Amino acid sequence: MMYQVLDKDTINSEIIPYLPKAKRGFNTKSNMVEIVNCILYKLKTGCQWHMLPVSSLFSEIVLSYKTVFGHFRKWCKSGIWQQIWIHLLEKYKSHLDMSSVDLDGSHTPALRGGSQVAYQGRKKK
């Protein structure tokens, strides 16, 4: 059984064209669509890299989670993954349902917090 986050045609038309071509004759052993699908699975589920069900995400040649992470890291460092994300958000902006967005409050400023708060006994000085 093979899990799919996005269908093969969507990955081929929306993501693969932005990825760099292999240099110096090095081609990946597996299908790029399956590598992207594996990365999307990890991002969607939030699982740890070593917990990826790679045997269920690849059809023929099963890559290690370390290889999948290597591709993801390379694309993030070069800014390609962010470009793909921005392109998809711009293209499908009208399809987003912003009424059900959940935001993480860890970056919300504490208006009466910080140095303005008096000493609390449970905290070290």
Encode 38-55 in three state secondary structure.
HHHHHHHHCCCHHHCCHH
Q: What angle do CA 21, 84, 60 make, to 5 degrees?
A: 55
Q: How many CB atoms are closer than 10 A to CB 27?
A: 8
Rounded CA gap, 65 and 56, in Å?
12
Per-residue pLDDT tens digits for 42-101: 999 999 999 999 998 888 889 999 999 999 999 999 999 999 999 998 998 888 887 777
